[in-house]
Amino acid sequence: MRGIIYGLCEPETGELRYVGQTVTGLQRRVYYHRWNADRGDTHVQCWIRSLNGAPGAVLLENQVPEDRLNERERAWIRYAWACGARLTNSTDGGQGGRHTEETRRRIAEKMRGRTFTPEWRAKMSAAQRRRFRENPVTEERRREMSETSKRLGLRPPPCETRGAEHPGSRLTEDEAREILALRSGNRSQSSIAKEFGVSRRLVGFIWRGERWAHLQEPA
């Protein structure tokens, strides 16, 4: 299973205020944040309540293997903090992140005595499904998210691995070298992409040195 790293932004200015991870999809996660905002007093919940509407959402990193989500979330949070972002995250990221004693106490007080009946769960599940059907992520919304990412100058923080060891890699090093060698031939990027089971865009990236760049470095 793969997931995403996402950000929540100020709707007016696009300022990045929260970094999170999910395997359930960006729209569903944003809906959960809005639904949960009135049910606690964490920094992110208070911030969302203060907004005049929903927070903006931006996809920071896609197709992250589930076992690397914590690592990449922490990397994005460190990157955002280093860029001066006023994040509302209460930990440094990762599902194992530690809350402060005060935060744990407030969460415990909010949850004490609360029960979630099967009827309540079924009602919430039906409401979410109805919302997703009525409000799908349109191409226009995807473009808005992309433009927000570009406006914020967001770039993935460096990953400690590269090549076939990179968590998002779909090729072996030998396959990448073969694709690179085919650059001097007469074959189209589309036919090469189909042969190796990747996108035409990735073939172009490899040819231009934007992916697997170390294969073109001098020995």
The one-digit pLDDT tens for each residue of the chain (219 residues) are 788 999 999 888 888 999 999 988 888 888 889 888 888 788 898 999 998 778 989 889 888 888 888 888 988 988 888 778 889 988 777 654 455 567 667 767 776 776 667 787 777 667 656 655 665 556 665 666 566 666 655 565 655 556 666 655 678 888 989 998 998 888 899 999 999 888 888 898 889 887 887 787 665
pLDDT at position 18 is 94
Nearest residue to 61 via CA among 151, 156, 171: 156
Question: pTM of the prediction?
Answer: 0.50
DSSP 171: S
pLDDT in tens, 163-197: 666 655 678 888 989 998 998 888 899 999 999 88
Closest Cα partner for 66 from 160, 1, 156? 1
Q: What is the pLDDT of residue 132?
A: 54
Specify the amino acid at residue 124.
M
Beta carbons within 10 angstroms of residue 41's beta carbon: 12
pLDDT of res. 119: 82
Q: Are 168 and 64 in contact (CB under 8 A)?
A: yes
Tokens of 163: 């090549």
Taking CA atoms, 186 is separated from 159, 191, 192, 205, in Å, by 34, 11, 11, 17
Contacts of 33 (CB under 8 A, 6+ apart): 8, 18, 44, 48, 55
CA distance 69 to 95: 9
Predicted pLDDT of residue 7: 92
